[in-house]
Structure 1
């Protein structure tokens, strides 16, 4: 997948962006639980792009803005490490 490697190389080396793909667990008390991708404002407020939602044995790739996030879901997301850590903390609790 040379284009993917090229994209990540360009973003991290030439543009000085440190990108990472991470897994974010939605806790039972998460303020994201019950919200849609759009109303969670993960991308708008934290700069993190949700690539997929893992729920049970299923995986929803490229979720639509109206796809709902549920407690127990795992979000597969891309962003800078600090941004991903912020979303992980928010996803774990209501704070």
Structure 2
């Protein structure tokens, strides 16, 4: 079974997902006071089909809740994930709604 980890890299302004120690994808964000704006999510084509984008979205959003940040989903993938999955305790500010 593969070792999959998701970490928050504030220096690079992104959550990173590693698959067996190799960077497989990331979710970029911008921080504002009390908010985290998710702007782009990407998984390397070599790692697609393993459910990594879903895992990355879940772990990143759960961590944002733990940091008491309001989630602002500009990234279409993150927005779609939030529309179809429950993230307990999440406060969401939908852009352009």
TM-score normalised by length of structure 1: 0.25
Higher share of residues assigned strand: 2
Q: Mark the structure with the bigger radius of gyration.
A: 1
Indicate the structure whose relative CO is greater, using CA pairs within 8 Å and at least 6 residues apart.
1
